[in-house]
Amino acid sequence: MSIVSIKSRSKIDQATFSFGSVEANTDTINGYSLYCAGSQSHYIDRFMPIKGDKLQRVIGNLETLEDTNFVGKVKFKCGFANVNFKFSGHFPEKGVQVKTYITGLLFYSSAVGHSYISKEQLEVLIAHLKDCV
């Protein structure tokens, strides 16, 4: 399966979420795909890598980040690899600091540095992920 029509995209550091409509049998449901770029041309591009209860747990982890001043880690398991989001705090003048990287069995790939996102961007990501549960 794949996304038939894209409704929205959210970019978090080196990861891009695409949200849209997916045709499942005769129904049209909401779905997402996750693309994450690492170093040396490594990347992950997966359609709905996690679903159901696991996606609910990830959404719960994202929602509780504000309680810990946006410090924590969130992991999307994609087969034998993981897309990791490391949140390193909230800075009033810049926003929420986040770094994305790819890990696997004896494998680590990350682009250089980190980036900042606003609280609103994180809230939009959470809302779109909730639509896909």
Residue 1 pLDDT > 80: no
Identify the pLDDT of residue 111: 77
Name the band, by pLDDT with cuts 50, 70 and 90, for residue 4: confident
Go through the domains of the chain in sequence order and give each one's CATH number.
3-131 (2.30.31)
Q: Which two tokens stand for residue 117?
A: 């996102």
64 φ/ψ sector (left φ>0, alpha ψ -120 to 50, else beta): alpha
Tens-digit pLDDT profile for residues 24-70: 787 888 999 999 998 888 899 999 999 999 999 999 999 999 999 99
Place of tokens 């359609």: 47
Identify the pLDDT of residue 86: 96
- As a whole number of angstroms, the distance between CA 11 and CA 65 comes to 18
Name the band, by pLDDT with cuts 50, 70 and 90, for residue 118: very high
Cα distances from 87 to residues 13, 78, 104, 112, in angstroms, run: 11, 20, 20, 15
The model's pTM is 0.90
Tens-digit pLDDT profile for residues 74-108: 999 998 999 999 999 999 999 999 999 999 888 88
Q: Which two tokens stand for residue 48?
A: 């709905």
CB 73 within 8 A of CB 85: yes
